[in-house]
Amino acid sequence: MKVAKIHELPKNFGKTVIVCSHEIALFKLANGNIRALANRCPHKGGVLAEGIVSGEQVFCPMHDWKINMCDGNVQAPDFGCVKTFPVEVENNEV
């Protein structure tokens, strides 16, 4: 399923997309990699697409939990996991 054109994604900002009724936070990182994860923080449901990106991490906009976008794990001392999704890029489309 095509959800975005790669050139329309600003680097290090999230974009909310809906895929099969799931709300996904889509990110294009500074290195050009694309990451996709469930758009809700496991703490209190912060919208991760509005978070601050640093490398492969996104900081939840609500209480600053740090989430690894590769595996979805929350960095200690906080805990939890966000579902991540595989991404394919073909003909400049995600």
Q: Which residue's CB is nearer to ligand FES, number 41 or number 49?
A: 41
* For ligand FES, the closer CB: 4 or 62: 62
Angstrom distance (rounded) from CA 60 to CA 42: 10
In DSSP notation, 16-67 reads EEEETTEEEEEEE-TTS-EEEEESB-TTT--BGGGSEEETTEEE-TTT--EE
Under rule CB under 6 A, residue 83 binds ligand FES: no
From the CB of 72, what's the least distance to ligand FES, in Å?
Answer: 13
Report 34-73 residues binding ligand FES (CB under 6 A).
41, 43-46, 60, 62-63, 65
* Token pair recorded at residue 59: 């900081």
Q: Rank residues 12 and 61 by Cβ distance to ligand FES and give the closer one.
A: 61
Sign of CA dihedral 42, 2, 28, 16: negative
List residues binding ligand FES (CB under 6 A): 41, 43-46, 60, 62-63, 65
